[in-house]
Every structure is written in structure tokens, then in C-alpha cells.
Amino acid sequence: MSANQPDPPAPGFLQAQRRRLLPLFLGLIGLIFLAVVVSILTKRGVDLILPLFGLSVLLLIGLITLRAGSFNWLRGAVIPLLAVTTALIIGAFLIAFTDRAVLQALGNFFDDPGGALRLAWNAVATAYSSMFEGAIGSPTRIADGLEEWIMSGEARAFRSAMRPIAESLTRSIPYVLTGLAVALGFRAGLFNIGAEGQFLIGGLCAVVVGFSVTGLPAYIHLPLAILAGAAGGAVWGGIVGALKAWTGAHEVINTIMMNWIAFRLVEWLLRGPLEATQGTRRTAEILDTAKLPRFFEPPIRLHAGLFIAIAAALFVWWFLWKTTWGFEMRTVGANPNAARYSGMNIGRNVILAMALSGTLAGLAGVSEALGLTHNMTLGFQAGYGFDSIALALLGNSHPGGVVLASLLFGVLRSGGTRMMSVAGVPLEITSIIQAMVIIFIAAPAIVRSLYRLDIRRDEMEPATITRGWGS
Amino acid sequence: MTRQWRKSLTRERIFGGVAMAAGLVILFMATRAEAGVRSAFTDDQLGTLFALPTREALYAFGALCFFVGGWQLYRGFRSLNVVLGAAAFLVVSSFLVWLTAAGSINLPGLLKTTLVSATPLTLGALSGIFCERAGVINIAIEGMMLFGAFAAIAAVSITGNHWLGMLAAILTGGIMAALHAVLSITYKVDQIISGTVINILAAGATRYINIRLLEPAGYGSPGPISLMRVPVLVDVPVLGKLFENTPTVFFMLLLVPIVHIILFYTPWGLRTRSVGEHPRAADTVGINVFRMRYINVIIGGFIAGLGGSYFSLSLGSFEDNMTHGQGFIALAAMIFGNWTPVGSFFAALIFGFADALQGKMQAFRVALPPEFLQMAPYILTMIILGGLIGRVTPPAADGQPYEKQ
């Protein structure tokens, strides 16, 4: 070998160390897990659980990026995980630099630089730890409650300690259903911004059947109320689909219009015809036979809507990937021209997709109305329209992804409520975080360049889900 | 058989039929109206301007509308807009006459409210026109306006000057538009998704900053901007009222012709439209597609911010989600107006009129829940969008990211 021949390029440090780093990572994660278990059992060092948890998540992300080859099935999770982490970090900066104490300390930053940083860290730590407690629960209280339950058989303390995580699950139910609604639309090439209106109409129909139909046993009344809500949502979405199929009117404008019509309709109904007592602006309570059963006793509100959500997720997966109709729908969404040339009926698929999408959103309203509120008030729909779009994007329009994304949003929402009461951070921080998440998911190139991951060529390609106004 | 029947069902004929049907409905209302009752149109200073005998006026309007529809079916007008305009005018006048039977309505007041309600809608539509003529769908008008509304109040609270507030609103709208441009032009994110992000961000961020920073500092309601009077015109007897208004209204009235001239009579406008219609061809003749799109989207953001400042500056304070969906109505107005400034202005006037009428509903004897009148523009949008879609022609490359080869 001659001297002037160049050496073969040295393998990157990470690649060389991969074999040694992997067991290290796995060992660290195992140790952290052990530490968490020990601290729950001994109730010592409980404050450390949250940082340890965060550390293990970071290690997991590192592990996945390192072992991208052998964790191929996890590869799709890298960008969403990094997107959520980045959004949470930006959220932390927002919390810190809008805190009045921090801002005052920043005023005399040069006298006491440590003070400002300490205050900022405190603000963020209080906010996020209260969010964690509101979303998952306080480890100490869970440990205490569990101990009491085992020792004395009294489960009340355990139930109230478990309430936060149950609440997160409860909050996830409408997210799963509305997220599925938008995801199904995306798969069919339709952008359903009208989940909010369909949600409202679904809930309205269910409530009306719930209190006006009397004398039925629960096993008839409840399904009837659910069906009514689903039908309401289907009609509300189906009208838009029909208009699109027959006249070509764009679904984005029409779903927005249908939203406003639904809001006004419900306002009018709650002001007059359906108002239970003058001035309350709410309907009568639904009968007991129409209520979705709850699994546990009072502090926990988790209800049978969970089954509706799980069933809907399974149904959407089965429908889209295991049936001919679903195949047609996906083809129409992916390439309408190909679908047309192969003899598929575009119009029928558009109507069907919008109606199904509306049904799913309607079912979300049903589960909220029959499971939680038991009546209809103004402000029932509370922003599910925009959140559902975020969910569908985060979940890559796949039922499994939507369920995971919904769990995240449920956690954010129920944690955000506690964060507001404990740390005084407005609930709106969660919608800012959600917007960031969508940005990073929709433009993966930003995340990849932030973390110095190699940019895949296809990610700079245009990703058009919707097609202009005309077609 | 059915196919042939469908083929003969052209848009021209449908409109003729619709106009005839509307005429019949008006005639039917006329037969139900009380005889000898008058509908009065009044003014604050002059008292009654004129009073029409309700029944006879309805008969006349109905017959005229029926005739217009029939003529359209029989011979056809040269332009469909004539039929549309005439029928719309007749239907609206009949509706007004019917509503005010044995009562009165303040006509200049109604016109003024119409113009004021149409102001943010027109500005939003102009913003959309700039973006979409350059080939970028702007569904974020709502979010940009909300950011503008908020920035205006924040700036006025701090500086105490309303004009600086308006400037802050314009700049904030531009910043959000720049975000939209970066996401949808550079990163080629689906434009509707990128717009939705801005809408979500606007709803969250304005409220967050408001609660967290402005309210604790005691800012947030600096009082409304003072009205502007146009020197000579304000003294005109009846319509003079229109010329004492929030400054934004006059900016809007100036911007409509300016945007029209820029778009259709300047090289810049030609380039903008070419980038929106056929970016590859534009690129071939040396137009920088990305630059054109960026600048136009940001100009659109400026205008949307100005439109947003109207909400908060005329009220004098910021409220959560105070644009409540007007940005989307502006989008509909833009589509109605076929992506032209003048057309969008008239479309916005229609929406503004429904809004103005809704506010005066309590004064009438006719019991119609106001919610239904509020629904009317939405239903109207859906009907016209369904019926007119062949007529509205969006820029050909609207919504498609451009890739250089």
C-alpha cells in the first residue's frame, strides 16, 4: 500500500461507539425505571420522579436515533417525539419570559444574573410539574392511596389519587373521535374543518333523544340516543360532501359555513324551544336510561364512551385498509384521476367520506353529552374543531397515531387545567404548544435541521393534502 | 333523456328560474300584506324620507323580479351579473319593505352599519386576493386579523397613540404572513395546514399574552379611536352620515380601487397574476416566483392586520377571539367576488347588510329569530358557492407549492 493513498474515511464517532453506547443507554433506562419503582415503594425522593421520567424519555429518543436501523418500526416516531419535545421547550421559554417575577428580575439582570435564571427555572418547573400532576397524578398520593387500599380496604384515597390519569383518559375520548373524523377526511382527500359543528349537532341530537323519549329500557334508549347523534353528524357532514360531489363547492368553505349555522341553530334552540327553564340557556337533563355508564365511583368520571372511541379507531383502520370501499376512498384521496380512470365513482366516495367523517365527529359529541355533561349548554363544543386537525396531522392520519396523539392532547388538556390553577399559567399555553407541534410535524425539515439529523429528500417535496379551491 | 335535460339546465337558465321563483314569492307576500299600510324610510334629521305603500310596492317589485327572470329565460341578458344584481336588489328591497310594514327604518343608519360591517370583510378579502393571486391559499385571514386586533390594543396601551396601534397591527399581520410564507413557500407545507396553524396560534397566543402580560399591567382598554370626518362630503344631507366614520373605513374605500389598479394595470400585478396562474411560465421569463410569492403574501398580511385593527380600535379594547369568524366570511366574500377587489367589496356589502339588518331586527313587528337572520349569509354563501362554482375561477396554481427545476 503506497503512502500517498488516502486513508479510508474514519467511521463517525457515534457509529464506532454504537456497540458500547447501546448497553449503556439500556442500562441507564433500566436504572431509572428501578429508581422510580423504589422511590414509589419507599416514598423517598418522590420529587425526583419527574426529572428522572424526563431523562428517560430523552434517552429513549437518543436510543432511537442511534439505532435507527434496528428500530425501524419506531423510526416514524422520531419526528413526532422531537416535535413534541421541541414544542414543550418553546413553551417553557414562553412560560418563563412572560412571568412577571422573572421579567422584573431580568430588569436588573446584571446585578443578579443567577436570580433571574433561578426564578425562570422555578416558574417553568412549577408549571410543568403541576401539569404532570394534573395529567398523571402525584406519585406520593398514589403510593399512599395504594397502601391504604391494601392495608384497610378503603379505596377512596386511591380513587382520588388516580383521578388525574382517569381524567386525562376521559378528555382523550372526544379527541380520538374528532381526530379520526379529520384523519378519515384526509385519507379521502377532504379537509373537514367542520368537526366542531358536527360535534355540536351530534351532541344535540343525542341529548334531544336522551330527554324527550321516555319509557324505554336502557338497552334500547342508549343505543337510540347514540344512533341519533351519529345520524345528526352524518347529515351535517354529508350535506357538505353532497355539495362537493354535485356542484364542486369546496368543502373547506362549506364546513365552516355549516359550523356557523350549527352554532346559531343551537343558540336559538337553547334560547327558546329547548330551554328547560327560562334564562338558564340549557336543555333538560337526559334520563338515566340514556346515560353512558361510568366505570368507577364519583371522583373518577371515566365513562363507556371509551369503548365507542376504541371501537371507532378499530373500525376506521379496518374500513380503510381491509375493505374495498376503504381502498376506493384512499385511492380517490391519493389520486383522483387514477381513481376516475379505473372506474371509481368519485362523487359517491366524497359523499360517503364526508358522511362517515361527520358520523365520527358526531359520536364525539354523543360521548361528551351522554357521558359527561348530560345536557346541552352554550359553549358545549369548546374548540374541538381546530384540535382535531392537529390530532390528525400528529397521528399521520392513521387511527393508531390518532389514538396516541389524542392521549397526548388529553394529558395536555387535563394537565393544563391544573397548571392554570396551581401555577397561574393560562390554559392557552396548551394551544400554543399544539400549534408548534403541528408546525414541526408538517415541516419535518425544520426539526431535522434543528437536531442535525439528515434531511430526507422526500421531506422537502411538497406535501399537498388538499387541492386548491376548484376540484 | 335525463342527460339531455341536464344539459339544457345551464347556469343562465337556473338563474332565470330562480329569479322568477323569487318574484312569485314576493307576489305571494304581497297578497298577504295588509292594504293601506305604508313602509316608512326615515332619517335622523330629516324625518321621513319617503314612505311606500307596502302592498303596492311588493306587487311592483315582485312583478319586476318575475319579469327579469322571464326575460332571462326567454332572451337572456348580455351578462349574468345584470340578472344577479337586479334580482338581488329587488329581493332585498322587497324584504325591507315587508319588514317595515306599518313601521319605519332608519335608512342612512342602515347603510352606515352596512358599510362599517363590510369594512373588515373587505380588508380580509383584499388580503386573501393578494395571497391567492400569487398562488398561496390564505385561510389564515382570521388569525392574522386577530393578531392585528391584539397588537393594535397592546401598542395603543403602551404608546397612547392610536395611529401607532394601527401601524403595529399592520406589522404584526405582516409577521404572521411571513410565517405563513416560510412554511408554505420554503418548506412547502400544505397551505391550508399552515394557515390553520396560524389560526390556532392566534387564538392561543393573543389570549395567553393578554392574560399574562397586558391584564396584570392594567393595560387593555385604552378607548376607541376618534372618528374621522371628510370635510365637504359630511355635510351632504342624507348620505353625509357615511363620511363620519372610523378611519379604517376610509382606508378600505381607498384600498379597493388601489388594489384593483395594482393587480390589473401595473407590471407588478401582471407578474403577481402570472405567478399564481402558471409559475413555471413566469419563471421561464425570469420572474422570481419565490420572491413574488413572499412579497405578495406579506402585503396580504399587512392588509389583514389593518382589517384586524378595525375590531379593537373601534371598540377601544381587546376581547378574546374578537374577530369571531369574520376572517372566514372574508374568505367567502373573496370567492364570491371571483378573486377581484371590486367584486369582493360588493360581496362584503351583502354580508354587511345582513349583519346590519340583524342588529335592527328588534325594531320590526315581524317576529323572526335573529339567529336565523345571522344564519342567512352562511346559507347564502353555500347556495351561491354551489350554484356559481363554474363561474368562479381561482388562480390556476392556487394552493400548489412551486418547485424550481
Q: For B292-310, write each residue's pLDDT tens digit.
A: 999 999 999 999 999 999 9
Confirm whether A66 is domain-assigned. Answer: yes
- Judge: A191–B192 Cβ closer than 8 Å, yes or no: yes
**Quick one: pLDDT at residue B264?**
92
Confirm whether A294 is domain-assigned. Answer: yes
Confirm whether B373 is domain-assigned. Answer: yes
- Pick the most confident of A353-362, B14-23, B131-140, B347-356: A353-362
Confirm whether A83 is domain-assigned. Answer: no
Say which of B332, B379, B387 has its CB closest to residue A261.
B379
**Quick one: pLDDT at residue B34?**
73
Give one DSSP letter per residue of A306-368, joined into a string. HHHHHHHHHHHHHHHHHSHHHHHHHHHHH-HHHHHHTT--HHHHHHHHHHHHHHHHHHHHHHH
Confirm whether A78 is domain-assigned. Answer: no
Of the candidates B140, B196, B197, B205, the one whose C-alpha atom is nearest the C-alpha of residue B173 is: B140
Q: Domain tally for chain A?
A: 2
Q: Which domain holds residue A379?
A: 165-460
Beta carbons within 8 Å of A359's beta carbon, 6+ residues apart: A181, A230, A231, A233, A234, A237
For residues A225 and B235, the model is more confident at A225
**A59 and A187 part of one domain:** no
Cell numbers that stand for A251 in this block: 368543502
| Alpha-carbon gap: B378 to the closest alpha carbon of chain A (Å) | 5
Asked if pLDDT for residue B403 goes beyond 50, the answer is yes
**B214 and B128 part of one domain:** yes
Q: What residues pair up with B38 in beta bridges, in sequence order?
A: B53
Confirm whether A142 is domain-assigned. Answer: no
Contacts of B196 in chain A (CB under 8 A): 193, 386, 389, 438
- Judge: B190–A265 Cβ closer than 8 Å, yes or no: no
**Alpha helices per DSSP H over A12-138:** 13-42, 49-66, 72-97, 100-107, 113-135
| Alpha-carbon gap: B142 to the closest alpha carbon of chain A (Å) | 12
- Judge: B378–A260 Cβ closer than 8 Å, yes or no: yes
Asked if pLDDT for residue B203 goes beyond 60, the answer is yes
B50 contact A CB<8A: no
Of the candidates B279, B256, B259, the one whose C-alpha atom is nearest the C-alpha of residue B136 is: B279
Lowest mean pLDDT among A301-315, A360-374, B5-19, B161-175: B5-19
Beta carbons within 8 Å of A47's beta carbon, 6+ residues apart: none
**B84 and B193 part of one domain:** no
Confirm whether B398 is domain-assigned. Answer: no
- CA A204, A207, A211, A214 torsion: positive or negative? positive
**B71 and B154 part of one domain:** no
At residue B42, φ and ψ (nearest 5 deg) are: -120, 170
**B94 and B113 part of one domain:** no
For residues B84 and A407, the model is more confident at A407
**Quick one: pLDDT at residue A10?**
46
| Alpha-carbon gap: A303 to the closest alpha carbon of chain B (Å) | 29
- A245 to chain B: nearest residue by CA? B386
Final residue in a domain of this structure, among A19, A53, A70: A70
Contacts of A393 in chain B (CB under 8 A): 193
Q: How far apart are CA B177 and CA A130, in angstroms?
A: 35
Confirm whether A61 is domain-assigned. Answer: yes
Q: What's the rounded mean pLDDT across residues B386-399?
A: 67
Final residue in a domain of this structure, among B76, B101, B126: B101
pLDDT tens digits for range B122-132: 999 999 999 99
Asked if pLDDT for residue B213 goes beyond 50, the answer is yes
Strand order in the sheet with B47-53: B47-53, B38-43, B104-106
Contact B39, B100 (CB under 8 A): yes
Q: What's the rounded mean pLDDT across residues B110-114?
A: 86
Cell numbers that stand for A184 in this block: 378519515
CATH number, domain with residue A209: 1.10.3470
Final residue in a domain of this structure, among A70, A97, A121: A70
Pairing of the two strands B38-43 and B104-106: parallel
Final residue in a domain of this structure, among A17, A51, A70: A70
B387 contact A CB<8A: yes
B369 contact A CB<8A: yes
pLDDT tens digits for range B57-78: 888 888 888 888 888 777 777 6
- CA B166, B169, B175, B178 torsion: positive or negative? negative
pLDDT range class, residue B194, cuts 50, 70, 90: confident
Contacts of B325 in chain A (CB under 8 A): 256, 260
Final residue in a domain of this structure, among B101, B136, B162: B101
Asked if pLDDT for residue B28 goes beyond 90, the answer is no
Confirm whether B402 is domain-assigned. Answer: no
**B79 and B147 part of one domain:** no
Final residue in a domain of this structure, among B50, B78, B101: B101
Rg over CA atoms, chain A: 25
Q: How far apart are CA B332 and CA B382, in angstroms?
A: 9
**A355 and A213 part of one domain:** yes
> What b-and-e string marks burial along A406-430, b requiring 16 or more CB atoms within 10 Å of the CB?
bbbbbbbbbbbbbbbeebbbbbbbb
**Quick one: pLDDT at residue B219?**
73
Write the ipTM: 0.79
**Quick one: pLDDT at residue B92?**
80
**B94 and B169 part of one domain:** no
CATH number, domain with residue B182: 1.10.3470
Confirm whether A207 is domain-assigned. Answer: yes
Q: How far apart are CA A334 and CA A328, in angstroms?
A: 10
Q: What is the mean pLDDT of each run of 10 residues along chain A (471 residues)?
A: 46 52 73 75 64 73 61 62 84 82 72 75 82 78 78 77 84 92 90 89 91 83 91 93 83 85 88 77 82 78 88 93 90 86 88 94 92 83 77 83 87 84 82 86 80 59 52 42
- Pick the most confident of A58-67, A328-337, B31-40, B165-174: B165-174
Say which of A99, A443, A460 has its CB closest to residue B183.
A443
**B135 and B31 part of one domain:** no
Confirm whether B267 is domain-assigned. Answer: yes
Confirm whether B202 is domain-assigned. Answer: yes
Interface subset of A 228-287, CB within 8 angstroms of B:
243, 246-250, 252-254, 256-258, 260-261, 264-265, 267-268, 271-272
Q: What's the rounded mean pLDDT across residues B350-374?
A: 73
Contacts of B139 in chain A (CB under 8 A): 252
**B93 and B195 part of one domain:** no
**Quick one: pLDDT at residue B392?**
61
At residue B76, φ and ψ (nearest 5 deg) are: 90, 135
Asked if pLDDT for residue B121 goes beyond 90, the answer is yes
**Percent of chain B, pLDDT > 90?**
24
**B77 and B177 part of one domain:** no
pLDDT range class, residue B257, cuts 50, 70, 90: very high
pTM of the model: 0.82
Confirm whether A224 is domain-assigned. Answer: yes
Cell numbers that stand for B190 in this block: 400544505
**B160 and B14 part of one domain:** no
Q: Domain tally for chain B?
A: 2
Interface subset of B 137-156, CB within 8 angstroms of A:
137, 139
Interface subset of A 435-464, CB within 8 angstroms of B:
435, 438-439, 442-443, 445-446, 460-464
**B115 and B85 part of one domain:** no
Q: Which domain holds residue B60?
A: 3-101
Asked if pLDDT for residue B6 goes beyond 60, the answer is no
Contact A91, A436 (CB under 8 A): yes
